[in-house]
Structure 1
Amino acid sequence: MANVIAKHDFRAPSDNLPQEIKRLKLPEAYVPATVSAAPLAGTWVNVDHHTRGLVRLVIAQSGNEITLHGFGACSPSPCDWGIVPGTVYAEGVTGTSALAFAGMYTFGFKQTTIVGRLMNGALAVATFDHFMDNSGRSDYFSEYILGQ
């Protein structure tokens, strides 16, 4: 008996997905609305010049994505927190303009979640600090008002 060698032609499902959608008369795939980050973009400065926390926040926009570049209170100049990716949020499920954002900084000894929202032309920002260094310090919350 001779050995039969079969050749299998593998095609990834994504190769023929558009044809299958049409053949099966399925609805087109849902494409979520994009949220414009433009309203949040820019340099925001804490209105409290004596703050011991967040001094400045630079929100940079690239397409519909943002990066957050925070600066904390240090002397003689602000401490650079670095740049982290952020997520933008609209006011509702059909919104297309960013109203709020969130991001996460990891400093080694603590993790800082930063969230903010536009409010009457200002940026209301909250930080949630969680210590990871077994120092016994309490996790804490801070809030700030920033303007452009």
Structure 2
Amino acid sequence: MKIASLFNKLSVIATGTLASILLASTAQAGLNDLRGAWINVDENTRGITKVVIGGEGASATLNTWGACHPSDCNWGEVAAMPLASSVSASPLSADRIMAHYSKSHATSLISAYMHGDALIIENATDFNDGRTDTFFRYTLKRMPVSIPPILMPNPILPLLPLLPVSPIETNLEQMEGAWMNIDDDTRGVTKIRVLVNGSTVRVKAWGSCHPTDCNWGWTQGIPLTASVGADPTSAERIMATWDQGFAKRTMVLKRRGQKLIAEMTTVYTDGRSDRFNTYILR
């Protein structure tokens, strides 16, 4: 695919190049709030059943289990990368982490963030055995297990309003079009163009620059479906990446009502803190 280049980039990042997202609950959250043992609220899930987030200070780890018979499959513990809303943010302010798992048949990108008292796990999987790539979201509750140690207090940071975690009624064709950021003064993504031809998707984005916006150019869009056997045209999300040399940007697009939501992860190669931003376009 496709997102494998992002996985390769993430795998060589030291755990010190970390930070946080600005998409969470109305309560203040940070890296320490993510740490602990979490279990899926759906006891009958066929996906991720539980996770343990550990680590100390600015370092984080993720251990994931998937539904198997007769007992859950342990995917193992991997280093996790916190993401920030700004390049100068402290890693300890992170309220989202990202990690990846590489298997013989697939590579999975796992994102975890707080929503109220729950932990939301998002799993984008790139299959290399011919199956359709997938995206799943899970809600987990905290288990009464201590993850030692929590060394630092959680900083108090201003948070954006939470975009509700709710089913998205859309399909691939409905994301096609020219979209403009609702914030005329944004310093991030200003507009996005999506072209759809069957299951083939192309995405172009522009970033805020002076005196005119910077054109990032066209890139392949990757439909993410809800099951491995689903028709790609039924995808409710599109993933796109841009390699700009100084930064690797990965964007996930989804429709919510009349708006297009763009969630973007930026991994810098020049020493700046990596970050996550959410943009709303119309």
**TM-score, normalized by length of structure 1?**
0.70
Match of 1:141 in 2: 135
Q: Are 2:96 and 1:106 aligned?
A: no
| Bigger-Rg structure (1/2) | 1
Distance 1:34 1:47 in 2: 27
Aligned to 1:63, the other structure's residue is in SS state coil
Give the unaligned 5+ runs of structure 1.
1-31
Among 116, 122, 145, which residue is 2:118 paired with?
A: 122
Distance 1:43 1:72 in 2: 14
Distance 1:61 1:41 in 2: 8
Query: Percent identity among equivalent residues?
Result: 32
Q: Are 2:99 and 1:97 aligned?
A: no
Distance 2:140 2:106 in 1: 23
C-alpha deviations, 1:55-81, integer Å up to 9, x for none? Answer: 000001222111110000011111000
**TM-score, normalized by length of structure 2?**
0.38
Question: 1:108 and 1:39, CA in 2 relative to 1: closer, same or farther beyond 3 A?
Answer: same
Give the unaligned 5+ runs of structure 2.
1-16, 21-29, 143-282
Question: 1:75 and 1:34, CA in 2 relative to 1: closer, same or farther beyond 3 A?
Answer: closer
Match of 1:38 in 2: 32
Question: 1:136 and 1:41, CA in 2 relative to 1: closer, same or farther beyond 3 A?
Answer: same
Q: Is the 8 A contact 2:18 2:58 kept in 1?
A: no
Distance 2:103 2:82 in 1: 22
Among 87, 95, 101, which residue is 2:81 paired with?
A: 87
C-alpha deviations, 1:102-132, integer Å up to 9, x for none? Answer: 0000012100000021111111111001012
Match of 1:73 in 2: 67
Question: 1:43 and 1:88, CA in 2 relative to 1: closer, same or farther beyond 3 A?
Answer: same
RMSD across aligned positions (CA):
2.1
Paired positions, count = 115
Instruction: Report runs of 4+ in structure 1 exceeding 2 Å deviation.
Output: 32-37, 89-98
Amino acid at match of 1:100: R
